[in-house]
Structure 1
Amino acid sequence: MDGRPERGHRCVPHTADVRVEAWAPTREECVAEAVAALVDTFVDPAGAAPDGGREFRAPAGDDEDLLVAVLDEVIFRMETEGELPLRTEVADDGAGGLTVRWGTTDTDAVELVGAVPKAVSLHELRFGRDGAGWSCAVTLDV
């Protein structure tokens, strides 16, 4: 994608579900962008600020499994704890997994603007190197 910023995400048309794409210079930054893309599909975080924090460790696995684990955790925490990440930092844990730190807010602090994702679909999942950086494409079941 010529002319795209070095790091970012977008929603792309998809029948019935929601599909997002994310890209960044590193694998870890790409995962963080994918989290932001997921959140942006159904809430408007404008005006909300993190008022809590959460850490998650995704165990060693291939890159696609790591991405799905992190996104699934966001959906799980939203459904069970009523919290959403407004800021995401991802680091390689040195053992093949990822350490994710979120700045979170309560779901009541943001405005709902779309269908809430229920799961990450493995259909047409893509995550890997893309030119000088990394990119991913994920379909979210709503």
Structure 2
Amino acid sequence: MEQPAERGHRCVPHTADVRIEAWAPTREDCVAEAVTALVETFTDTAGARPGAEREFAAPAGDDADLLVSVLDEVIFRMDTADELPLTTEVTDDGSGGLRVRWRVTGTADVELVGAVPKAVSLHELRFGPDTGGWSCAVTLDV
């Protein structure tokens, strides 16, 4: 994947679903970029303000499972608590898992601009180190 900046994300064309790519110098920052990319695929957060802080612990697992766990949690919280992350901070928990901190906003405080993701697909999932740090590519079922 050609990466235009040290850290970032983008949505790429995909038949019937949504595909995101993210990259960053570290595994944790790449996960945070993927969360931002997921939210940006279907919302405009320009007028939203960060509210409560939420935490999530992704249990130890391989890197792809950790990424899927975090993205699935974003979708779950959107569906059950009507909230979306505006900022994401991800750290290694020291045991192979991840600790995620979000500043969230209500789903009513953002404008929907695309199809809402229902799940993270495991098909063509990619996450790991590359020449510029870490990168991932994820398909979101809509």
TM range (shorter): over 0.9
Tell me whether 1:121 sits opposite 2:121 in the alignment.
yes
Residue equivalent to 2:47: 47
| Local SS of the residue matching 1:72 | helix
Q: What whole-Å deviation, never above 9, does each CA across 1:83-134 have from its counterpart, x for those lacking one?
A: 0000000000000000000000000000000000000000000000010300
Distance of 1:37 and 1:19 partners within structure 2: 9
Amino acid at match of 1:22: A
| Local SS of the residue matching 1:117 | coil
Unmatched tracts of structure 1, length 5 or more: none
Distance of 1:74 and 1:14 partners within structure 2: 21
Residue equivalent to 1:73: 73
Please, what TM-score do these two structures have when normalized by structure 2?
A: 0.98
Matches within 5 A, 1:4-83: 4-83=4-83
Amino acid at match of 2:55: E
Amino acid at match of 2:81: E
Residue equivalent to 1:130: 130
Aligned residue pair count? 142
Aligned CA-pair RMSD: 0.9
Unmatched tracts of structure 2, length 5 or more: none
Distance of 2:45 and 2:8 partners within structure 1: 16
Amino acid at match of 2:123: H
Give the stretch that moved more between structures: 23-32 or 1-10. 1-10
